[in-house]
Structure 1
Amino acid sequence: MIEVARQDYPDRDTLMRNLAELVADQLRAAHATKHRPEHAGRRRVTLAVPGGTTPGPFLDALSNFELAWEDVDVIATDERMVPEYSDRANSKLIRERLLRNAAIDAHFVHYHAAGTFLEPVLDTIRERVAERLPIDVAVLGMGADMHTASLFPGAPGLAEALADDAPTLVRVEPAAQPEARLTLSAPALRGAEVIHILITGEDKLAALATALADGPVAEAPIRVALTAPCPVTVHYAA
């Protein structure tokens, strides 16, 4: 049985506001640490955020917190291979819901190729992400099928993404989804300094209970995060 910290909230609005405040505090702390005179490493902070429908209010709330956003690199946990400003693109969600208000000066690291074809530039995109690792604060979602980012059970490309030597980003093609995706790999996610898992609804709570039981990661990819060596907290509201 996997043991992980869990925070329950009375409603979704409270969850989104409180999680945003916590993430803002952790970004400030990471920034302060990296700007101490004795710190010789990378001085920027990396925030990974999910796409989809659930995290929009969290991103709205986070955008209002004052911190050194000009020193924050924002990356998506995954991206659909659609035009950059498509309504299905996580980049569009992040730009419209997070990169505004106080967070307008944050730097967004997008995964889209300048042209039509991804493969010729995939290594360049991977390097772009690798320069921002490790992730200081990662916020992940989870589906009722126990996927996280675009690590879908049974998806072509999943084994590569779960491998210990996986590159930062892996292309996967989930059978039930209309397009291929790029996803942060298991090593990139598990290397985060802190992970928050944002879930809502009874179906996802039931899925979490299943994922917390012992079993193969390939059957419940959210276990990549649940078993990470860093502090991990599940944030839940019905």
Structure 2
Amino acid sequence: MNFIEYPDSDMMMIDLANKIAGDLNAALHHEDRACLAVPGGTTPGPLFDDLCAADLPWDRVDVMLTDERWVPTDSDRSNTKLIRERLLVNRAAAARHLPLYASADTPEEKLPELEAMIAPELPIAVLLLGMGADMHTASLFPGADKLDEALDPRAPILVPMRAPNAPEPRVTLSARVLDGALRKHVVIIGQEKRDAFENAQHLSTHDAPIKSVLTGADVHWAP
């Protein structure tokens, strides 16, 4: 793990967008296609605003979320809506989107269909993750109903997840798939999350799921 500090979040997002574009470009030098997996939430929006303009052969890039709330894609709580509005635009509009949501009452009804689209594009070439103050990443939440399954080395690609304080079901890439990414970046903002990240190093993976994806990762932090 490599911990990188920045003086402010604006500089971090610009630098990280450049690093991710460089990672994708390097992957595309020796592969026909490259898969980019990104989080939703409030943190990555500014990074997406920079990354979407990168001069890349985006038509050879598959973009997917690391996790999604099981809500319609026009909901303000939809991570899909976020990436459609802020990442899959400008030059990046040429990328192919691999969905993590399909219209159904529960994620279990659609997991085989969604996994079938993702499986041929693995491993992830470039992964971006965030982290919550509770030390979750993607939808790997401490105390979630299927956390054990999601952390298992033999886990499926996707795991449905229901967690305390999460108002709707979610679907998440398993730790096995996330940790198998060829390049991994974790972005953290603020002292509270830095303190949580440092505390995570002394806890089990079940109590601090972020630990399941840190091997070989670059961790980017700004106050």
Instruction: Give distance in 2, aligned partners of 1:110 and 1:85.
Output: 14
CA deviations on 1:87-135 (whole Å, 9 max, x unpaired) are 1010000111101111110111112223444333211111212121100
CA deviations on 1:178-211 (whole Å, 9 max, x unpaired) are 1110011011011100110000011100011011
Instruction: Give distance in 2, aligned partners of 1:209 and 1:114.
Output: 39
1:125 to 107, 114, 121: 114
> SS of the counterpart of 1:218?
coil
Instruction: Give distance in 2, aligned partners of 1:220 and 1:175.
Output: 15
Which residue does 2:22 correspond to in 1?
A: 25
Alignment of 1:117-196 (within 5 A): 117-196=106-185
Which residue does 2:69 correspond to in 1?
A: 80
> SS of the counterpart of 1:150?
coil
> SS of the counterpart of 1:108?
strand
Instruction: Give distance in 2, aligned partners of 1:121 and 1:5.
Output: 37
Instruction: Give distance in 2, aligned partners of 1:116 and 1:225.
Output: 30
> SS of the counterpart of 1:20?
helix
Instruction: Give distance in 2, aligned partners of 1:86 and 1:139.
Output: 23
Q: Which stretch shifts more, 118-127 or 80-89?
A: 118-127
2:8 to 7, 11, 23: 11
Which residue does 1:219 correspond to in 2?
A: 207
Instruction: Give distance in 2, aligned partners of 1:220 and 1:60.
Output: 30
CA deviations on 1:8-37 (whole Å, 9 max, x unpaired) are 111110000000000001100000111xxx
> AA paired with 1:212?
Q
> AA paired with 2:69?
R
> AA paired with 2:56?
L
> SS of the counterpart of 2:122?
coil
TM-score, normalised with respect to structure 1 = 0.91
Instruction: Give distance in 2, aligned partners of 1:212 and 1:130.
Output: 31
**Contact 2:70–2:106 (8 Å) recurs in 1:** no
Which residue does 1:113 correspond to in 2?
A: 102
> AA paired with 1:180?
P
What residue ranges of structure 1 are gaps of 5+ in the alignment? Answer: 35-42
Distance 1:150 1:118, change over 3 A: closer
Instruction: Give distance in 2, aligned partners of 1:119 and 1:100.
Output: 30
> AA paired with 2:20?
V
> SS of the counterpart of 1:94?
helix
Instruction: Give distance in 2, aligned partners of 1:18 and 1:206.
Output: 23
Instruction: Give distance in 2, aligned partners of 1:92 and 1:86.
Output: 7
Which residue does 1:38 correspond to in 2?
A: none
